[in-house]
Chains A and B, each alone.
Chain A
Amino acid sequence: MIEEKTYRKYLEALIKGDKATCSVIIKEKLDANINIKELYTGLFQRSLYKIGELWESNRISVATEHLATSITESLMHMTYPIIFESEHIGKKAVISCVASEFHQIGGKMVADIFELHGWDGYFIGANTPEYELYRMIHDKKPDVLALSLSLYFNLPKLLHLLEQINEWFPGLDIIVGGQAFRWGGREEVEKYEKVNYLSSLDELEEFIANNTKP
C-alpha cells in the first residue's frame, strides 16, 4: 500500500529533481516487500501522470518533466534484483513500442510484470526500427507480443505494424495497451483476430495467469 503522505512526499521530491529522496522512499517500500505492480502504478505512474498534467498546464517546464521522467526510469532499476530473480517458467513475451514513440516507461512496466510472473520479458525500447522488432520476434519466438502506444496520433502506425505482423507471423498472440487508447482506437486494433486490448496492469496479470497454465 502506498499512503497518500508517501505519495505527496515522493511527488514533491520528484518535481524538485531530488533523486536521493525519491530513492530512499523506493528503497523503504522495497524493503517492506511492496507489491511491484502497486509501486509501479501507485507511485511511478500516478506521479508521472501528475507531471504530465502540470506540464500541459505550463506549471512546470519541459526540463523539469524530463528530469522527473529520467529519475523515474532509473528508479525502476531498483526493482530489477526482484523481478529478474523470480523462477522462470519458459514462457516468453516480446514487448515493444511503436516506431517513433519515445514513451517507453509503460511498456517497460509491462515487460517487468511478465518477468515478475516468471516469463521472459524482452523489451525493445522506444523508437526501435520495425525490422528490429521483426528480428526479435523471429529470434525469440515469443508466446505473446505486447505493443505499447502512448500517442493517439501514432495509431495509424500501430495499425500498419499489426498488418505486417499478421502477415509475417500469423497466429502470434498480440496484446496492445497504453494511454493512447484513452482517445479511442480499441475497435480498430481488435479487428484483428489475434489482437486484444488490455487497459491496465491488472488486466495484464489476468492475461498472464490465463496463459501460464500449460
Chain B
Amino acid sequence: MKDQIKLKYLNDHASLMNIECDRDGIIKEMNAYARKIAGDMTGKPFGNIVLDFTNTFNFEEVVKNGEQSRLLNVATQNNTPQTFYFRFFSTEDTIMALGELNHAELSDLETKLVRLNNELNNTSRQLQKTNSELKRLNELKNKFLGIAAHDLRNPIGLVISYADFLLEEAYDKLTDDERLMLERIQSSAEFMINLINDLLDVSRIESGKLELNLQAVDLVDLIKNNVELNQVLAEKKSITISFEHLEKIPPVKVDARKIEQVLNNLISNAVKFSHPGSSVKLDIFRDSKHVNVSVTDYGQGIPKEERPKLFKTFSRTSVQATGGERSTGLGLVIARNIIMGHGGDIWVESEVGKGSTFYFSIPLKK
C-alpha cells in the first residue's frame, strides 16, 4: 500500500517522463510530466517524440537489441529539443521508457552560455570602441585635408599666375626650351589645383557638408553648355561630342553648379579615355520616376572586376588615358556623392574593347 502511494506520487509529480508502449512501439500511456514535455502522443509511435537528427533511431531495433538506456533528443511542445536520458524496461507486452533531464549536459551548456554571453558583450564593446575611433580618425583626416588643401591653394595659385605672366609678357625673350618648361610648370600647377579642389570636395562631402542649392533647371540646356565647354579639349584629339535628344524633358530640381561638375567630369573622362578620331555621345531620356543622362565613349572599356572600384576614393583602374592626360582619381567619387545627394543614382555599363556608358539619374519629383 505504502509503496503504491509512493509510486503513484512519483509517476504523477516527479520530473520523470514515463512512457509506456506496446511491442510495436506505439505509445499507450504517458504520465503528466511526459505530456507536459512532449504533448499528448498516445496512439503514435514512440519515434515521433524523438528528434532524430541523424535519422538512425529505430525504437524496435533498440528494443530488439536489448539496449537498456540511451540519450535522446525529445521534440518538446515549444520546439526546442531537450536531451533526456532514457532507460528502457520491457515485459512481454509492454516497453516502458523512463526519461530524465540530462543534468550533466545542462550544467555544461550553462557554462558555455555564460562564456558565449561574455564574449558577445565584449565583442560588442570592442565594436563600439573601434567605431568611435574610426569616426574620430575620419573627422581628423577631413579636418587635416581641409586645412592642408586650403593652405596649398594660395601658393599654387601664385605659381600659376606667375607662369601665366611670364608666358605672356616675356614670350619673345624665351627660348623654346624655356617656354616648354614654363608650360610644364603651368600645367602641373593646374593639375595640383584640380587635385586640391577635388580633395576639398571629398572632405566636405565626407564631413556631411555637401550643401545643395536646389532650383528648377532645364537639364538639356545644361548639357548643351557643357558639351560646348569640352569641345575644345576634344578637338585636340579629333574627337566629336554629340548630343541628340528625342524626348521632351521637364525641368528638375537640382543644384545646377553641382550637376555641371558631374557632367564635366563624365564628359572629360569620356574624352580622356577615347581613341583619337572617335566620338562621345550624350543622351537624355526619362522614365516614370527619373530623368536619366548617359555619356558614351568608344574607348577601351573597363574590365568587369574593376568597375566596383570606380566610385571609391583613391582607387584607380588599369585603364589608361589615351593622350597621357592625368586624373586625380576622385572625380567619380565626387560625382557619385553629388548624385546620391540629389536622391539619384550613378552607374556604368562597359565592354572591354568597345567602350563604356556612364549613366546618372535624377528623380523627377522633389
Chain A residues at the B interface, C-beta cutoff of 8 Å? 66, 70, 73-74, 76-77, 80, 84-85, 88, 102, 104, 108, 111, 115, 120, 123-127
Contact = CB atoms under 8 A, between A and B. Distances in A.
A127 B117 CA distance: 12
Interface size class, chain B: 10 to 19
B132 A123 contact: no
A110 to B, nearest CB: 13
A111 B128 CA distance: 13
A80 B124 CA distance: 10
B118 A104 contact: yes
B121 interface: yes
Contacts of A76: 121
6 contacts: A70-B117, A84-B129, A108-B125, A115-B129, A123-B126, A125-B122
B301 to A, nearest CB: 45
A84 B132 contact: yes
B124 A77 contact: yes
Contacts of A115: 129
B60 interface: no
Given A85-B132, A88-B136, A126 B118 contact: yes
Given A84-B132, A85-B132, A88-B136, A77 B114 contact: no
A66 B114 contact: yes
B contact patch SS: helix
Contacts of B125: 77, 80, 108, 111, 123
The 8 lowest CB-CB distance pairs between A and B, nearest first, are: A84-B132, A125-B122, A80-B128, A73-B121, A126-B118, A125-B118, A84-B129, A102-B114
A84 B136 CA distance: 10
B119 interface: yes
Given A104-B121, A127-B115, 15 more contacts: A70-B117, A73-B117, A77-B124, A77-B125, A84-B129, A84-B131, A102-B114, A104-B118, A108-B125, A111-B125, A115-B129, A120-B129, A123-B122, A125-B119, A127-B118
Contacts of A102: 114-115, 118
Interface in B105-136: 110, 114-115, 117-119, 121-122, 124-126, 128-129, 131-133, 136
Contacts of A80: 125, 128-129, 132
Contacts of B122: 104, 108, 123-125
A80 B130 CA distance: 11
A124 B122 CA distance: 7
Contacts of B132: 80, 84-85
Nearest to A104: B118
Contacts of A70: 117
A212 to B, nearest CB: 18
A74 B117 CA distance: 10
B365 to A, nearest CB: 36
Interface of B: 110, 114-115, 117-119, 121-122, 124-126, 128-129, 131-133, 136
B129 A74 contact: no
Contacts of B119: 125
B128 A84 contact: yes
A88 B121 CA distance: 23
A115 B126 CA distance: 12
A120 B110 CA distance: 32
A196 B56 CA distance: 60
A9 to B, nearest CB: 24
B128 A77 contact: yes
B213 to A, nearest CB: 32
B126 to A, nearest CB: 8
A156 B133 CA distance: 36
A70 B110 CA distance: 13
Given A88-B136, A102-B114, A74 B128 contact: no
Most buried by A among B125, B129, B133: B125
A85 B118 CA distance: 23
Nearest to B117: A70
B131 to A, nearest CB: 8
A70 B117 CA distance: 8
Contacts of A127: 115, 118
Contacts of A66: 110, 114
A174 to B, nearest CB: 21
Contacts of A125: 118-119, 121-122
A71 to B, nearest CB: 11
Contacts of A126: 115, 118
Contacts of A84: 128-129, 131-133
Most buried by A among B115, B121, B126: B121
B128 to A, nearest CB: 4
Nearest to A108: B125
B350 to A, nearest CB: 43
Contacts of A74: 121
A123 B125 CA distance: 9
